[in-house]
Structures are given as C-alpha cells and as structure tokens.
A and B are shown apart, each in its own frame.
Chain A
Amino acid sequence: MGKRVGIEVSLAVAEAVKLCDVDVVSAYPITPQTHIVEELSHYVANGDLDAAFIPVESEHSAMSAAVGSSATGARTYTATSAQGLALMHEIMFIAPSMRLPIVMTIANRSLSGPISIWNDHSDIMAERDTGWIQIFCENGQESFDLTICAFRIAEDKRVLLPVGVNMDGFILTHMIEPIEFMDKAEVKAFLPDYKPQLTLNPKKPVSMGPVGVPEVYMEAKKQYEQALWDSKDVVKEVLAAWGKHTGRKYAMVECNGKKKAKTVFVTMGSLGETAMTAVDNLIAAKQDVGQVRLRLWRPFPKEEMKKALKDAAKVVVIDRALSPGGVCGPVATEIKSLFYGDKNAPKIYNIVAGLGGRDVSVKDFEEMYALAKGGKIKDDYVIWGVKSNA
C-alpha cells in the first residue's frame, strides 16, 4: 500500500498522470486547472517524467495537438477548464470520432458571463454530446484514483475513446487532502501498456479522420456511439479491478443513507460529500432519506440509476448547471426521461444550485429536504438561493 500524504489535489492528479507514464502532455494553463499542468511541466523539465510537454498557444491547439499525438500511438494527457474547454469544443468531437484514447482532466468552472473563475458544471455540460466518456469525482482521492482508471478505460481495445475526468474547480483542485499514493510498479501492474490499433505510421499508411460523405457519416457516428455504450461494461470492470488492486471500491452509481428511503438526493461531483453529511444528520433526526451519487455521466448508467431510485417516492436532483430555457437541469432531464411512462415513477424535483461558485452547505440540503418532503416545490426546477425582491 502506498503512502498517505497531505497534498493539494491538483498536485496529486499530476502525480497520477506521471505514474501513468504518459508520452505527451499538451496543455495551456487556465485557472483553476493551472497547478496540474504546471506540476507536469516541472516533472518533464526535471527529468522525472520522460514525456514531451507541448506548451501550445491556445486550448484549440492543446486538443488538436493531443489528437495528433494520440493518433501516433502516444499516451496523451491534457487538462483544462471553462473557457479553455469551450475553445476546444470543435476538436472535442474529433477525438472520439477518430477513436483516440486521450485523457483530460476538467477542473470544472463556470463559463462566462458574467466573468467567473469559480465552480459549476456549465463547462462540461456544454460538451455533453461530444462523445467523450465523462466521469465525475467527489474528492481528492477519487480524483487521483479515477485519473489512473481513466487511462485503462480509454485504452481498452473495446473502448478506444477519450475520457474526461471532472473535478470541481477550487473545491477539489485547490483543496489539501490526505491522499493515498501508489508507487510506479503498482500502477504498472494495473495499467497495461497502450497498444494502439491504428497509428499514423509511414510504414503502414492509413488516413485518419477523412471526410464522411452522407453515405458514411451516420454509420461512422453509430460506430463510436456504440463504443460509448459498450464502454459501460469496461468502466465497471476497471472500477472492480481497481477495488481489488487498492481496496478502494467505486461504482458508476453509488447509494448511501437509508435503504429504500422515501426521499432521495441525486448529486454529481463534490456536492455528494456535503449531501452525505446532510443525509447523516437527517437520518440521526429519524428522517427517511437517502442519496444516490452519479459518478459516470456519459455513457449514462440507465439501468443502474433506475435501480437505485426504484424504491423512492421523491427524488431531489441537484444540478450544478442551468439549461437556460430548458425543461430542467441536465441531470434532472435524464432522470425524468428514465422514468417517462413508468406508473411507479417517483416525484422528481430539480434544484439548480451552486452556480458560479455559490456555496451550497449542509444546511441547504436540509432545507431542500424539508421542502421536498412537504411537497412544497412546485416549479419544474428551482434556482436555489437566488435572491429576489418578490
């Protein structure tokens, strides 16, 4: 077992990337992702990591360089946030369509405007349909662990898709947490060498990313969407293997609190920990409450989520992103459609909370619970805590 060290989570993520022995890091610094790539550039400069560090001129180039590097068969990593991710948008679609197993950390931050460097999930939600596997971490240890798992998932022959590892900006990236590290041999035993199926190699020429005329485009899309759905089994396998290897067990969908609870929170990301404390408090106060934490956002674990919520009478879905002009927040939209037409569907409430770095505390969750329990939430979604004169 590795050493337990008190460390800033960003630095722990950089260490995880180093332990995965990446060949190429192409990145542009942006708050709150900066410490991760800064640390990686130190490793490369000091000779601690034998990799090419490409200091690109923008995030559009960061993702483009990652695509090119991954296409040669190199294990490739990048990281970004908010506006940086938005600038990658065009190339975000290219990576999965070319079946390139790039791993990227997204230090989740709200998109401007108004200008904000603080946390919410609006950045990744704007990239929802790009075809990436999308994982959400709840704490520092998870960020370290799932970064390593991400490479094994991405590079699996049955998958070959890029993986985005989401961690809440500042709330996780800049937190100092006790993290259990591993040594290189332990990571090597878990993460096999990347064996690319196709590479840019003059000895065996292939054209990657060609034009998809109307007679091919839909089949090409279907091919990588199927791979995305099929990746769910691989995610499950890899998480199980990680549990065996380290003793730290993760699932795509995790439940805690009362079994078969009447009222259940659904959270994604670091809010899960806050909700967990609230759920403990409420249970201590004899309330019938539980919690479901969603760790895999894409592909959406439909069966697992439905099973986790099947005994609930009321479900309170927390979204950390607003879908302006939409029916409700992105996570709630999925959960409502999961239960569409189901006679036993629970009542589903949606609370959009914590936008642009607004704190969401244990007390907030207790108040949400009281409102949901009393059936007092009437709107399709509530923007939690928004100050109003009305």
Chain B
Amino acid sequence: MSDRAFVAWQKLALGCAILEPGSSAKLKTGDWKSLAPKLDEEKCIKCGKCFTYCPEFCYSEDKNGFFRADLSYCKGCGICANECPTEAISMGKEEK
C-alpha cells in the first residue's frame, strides 16, 4: 500500500484543527491557471481596483505605488484585468 497521507492520525491536532495561524499562506494555490495577469506600468494609474477585486488577495502595493500580483496564488480568473479602468492589465501566458 503506498503512503498517500500527510500525517498519522495520532499526530493530527484534536478534531483536525489547525493550530498555526496563517499557515494557509504556505499552500500555493496558483498552480492551475492557464493565463496570468501582466501589468503595463505606462497605463497604470495606481487606483488599486485590481487589489480590491482580486478574489485571491494576490495584489499588494510595492514601494513605487504599483500593485503587483503574487502569481503563486493567482488562479488566472482575469477579474483584475476586467476591472482595471485603464486596461493596464492583460492576460497572457505566464512568463517563467
């Protein structure tokens, strides 16, 4: 029998609870997208709509005021690109 489990049942916390706050950040959920957002800094007006609308909370503001998506959590839904008022975000193949 191959071992398909993460951990022995005796080692699970009571009721399968998660005891470490924020540990879900360790789980990279963005490995199944087919398209990724790409920012055109020329067009961006730094309004933050992409940050507000992204359902995966991928965006954060960098020191220059641009909003950058952390693609390791991006599912490629394109909401950010749709909501951007200046079409500064385009959806395309992820650049590795």
Contacts and interface: CB of A to CB of B under 8 A. Distances in A.
B32 interface: no
B6 A215 contact: yes
Given A216-B5, A216-B7, A198 B14 contact: yes
Contacts of B19: 198, 206
A205 interface: yes
A223 interface: yes
Interface string B11-24: 01111111101000
Interface residues on A, range: 20 to 34
B93 to A, nearest CB: 29
Interface in A224-280: 224, 226
Interface residues on B, range: 10 to 19
B7 A219 contact: yes
Contacts of B18: 206-207, 210
A212 B16 contact: yes
Contacts of A220: 9, 12, 15-16
Contact of B16 (A205, A214, A223, A226): A223
A214 B4 CA distance: 8
B15 A97 contact: yes
A208 interface: yes
Interface in A93-132: 97-100
Contacts of A100: 15
Contact of B15 (A208, A218, A219): A208
A271 B10 CA distance: 40
A42 interface: no
Interface of B: 4-10, 12-19, 21
Given A206-B13, A216-B5, A216-B6, 17 more contacts: A99-B15, A160-B15, A198-B15, A198-B17, A198-B19, A205-B21, A206-B19, A207-B21, A209-B17, A210-B16, A212-B16, A215-B4, A216-B12, A218-B9, A219-B6, A219-B7, A222-B9
25 contacts: A97-B15, A98-B17, A100-B15, A160-B15, A198-B17, A206-B21, A207-B17, A207-B18, A210-B17, A212-B16, A214-B4, A215-B4, A215-B5, A215-B6, A216-B5, A218-B5, A219-B5, A219-B7, A219-B9, A219-B12, A220-B9, A220-B15, A223-B10, A223-B15, A224-B15
The 6 closest A-B pairs by CB, nearest first: A99-B15, A219-B9, A207-B18, A220-B16, A222-B9, A205-B21
